[in-house]
Amino acid sequence: MDLKTRALALHKKLRGKIEIASRAKIKSLKDLDLLYTPGVADVSREIAADKEKVYDFTNKWNSVAIITDGTRVLGLGNIGPEAALPVMEGKALIAKEFGNVDAFPICLKTQDKEKIIETVKAISPSFGLINIEDIEAPKCFEIVERLEDELDIPVFHDDQHGTAIVVLAALLNSLKIIEENTKAVKIVIAGAGAAGYGITKILSKYGFRNIIVSDSMGIIYEGRPLGMNTYKNDIAKISNHNRESGILEEAIENCDVFIGASGIKNLIDYKVLQKMSKNAIVFLLSNPDPEILPSQAQKAKNVKIIATGRSDFPNQINNAITFPAIFRGALDSRVKKLTYDMFIKAAEALANSVPKNKLSKNYIIPNINEKYFFDKVVGAIK
């Protein structure tokens, strides 16, 4: 059977990838007295007197809400909340399996920004962290910024922050392999959505200065008259300092690193990659279909390292590698806000966790099921 047939069969058999399990067992009425009424009333009184005790007496300390409106799911676009649910269940499954975090998929039947913000604020007392997921840009940025300001628990935007962490880690290790350990490399990013925005921000904050970002209207530069918004203006301020203009193919010429975050299948061909510099690094992040298949990208002999967002090719750059550890670290440290300084430390921890004797062009980043990096990334969030 092909992948589609097997995936459909498994999901139908499971009828959902997650479930609620009890930490306590009710074997007698005495157990019920303690776990529910009347004993639970005393627990509620304690929390009413000191709300911080909710972390001590309930599962808030380990609970994450995964929030989506289904407007930007994988590379599938606006498929709605019901169709988004299998993906959100997958995120919850990964959070539990790799981070022992209880994550709850919440797919909202509204695409209105203000309603989403108010709904998340209304349900926030039950959770220790909010994860915004698969909401279209630029709406997602506005939602995240508002929630960061108005909530007393951390907000993580996995499409933006999680992807950025893994990309920075993968890039740092790739530069070690090609022995080009410098921040002067020319980096071209295709896509200015959540992933492209987050990648641009983290690379800029880390110190990379020669970054060019392209969207559907071409290269982004300060003062571009068409297709701009607040967040693309932010990108323009921290990238393309020479104010280059033109199309993506022109930007790629002589660049050292290409990062695809466009969500567009077959965006480029190998002949475009041949215009890159020697020992080129190519990250093709769009899922499920990358900007170019690795088998095609390999035809460009100057390309040294290839990574994708998929698990069926070497070098998977996927936020699933890091978000369970970010959740765990944020919940354990009880930080009120996540910052790019934390994300950079997490990326460095992820990159440095790879043993020198294991690092190679086909192994620039740990696999999600490898445990050795987890505690190091958790420790970076504090």
3-state SS assignment for residue 245? coil
Active-site residue among 13, 30, 60, 91?
91
Strand extents, DSSP E, 23-84: 63-68
Active-site entry in 30, 36, 51, 336: 36
Query: Under 8 Å CB-to-CB from 180, ≥6 apart: which residues?
Result: 256, 279
DSSP label at 184? Answer: T
Q: How far is CA 358 from CA 124, 355, 366, in A?
A: 42, 5, 10
Judged by DSSP in three states, 263 sits in: coil
Taking the C-alpha atoms of residue 258 and residue 255, their distance in angstroms, rounded to an integer, is: 7
Separation in Å, CA 200 to CA 2, 89, 196, 212: 36, 29, 6, 9
What is the number of residues in the chain?
Answer: 382
Contact 70, 83 (CB under 8 A): yes
Task: Please confirm, yes or no, whether 221 is among the known catalytic residues.
Answer: no
| Closest C-alpha to 67, from 18, 123, 2 | 123
Q: Token pair of 171, please?
A: 């890039």
Which letter does DSSP use for residue 360 in this model? Answer: B
Does the annotation count 345 as an active-site position? no
Answer whether the bond into residue 288 is a cis peptide, omega within 30°: yes
Active centre residues (catalytic):
36, 91
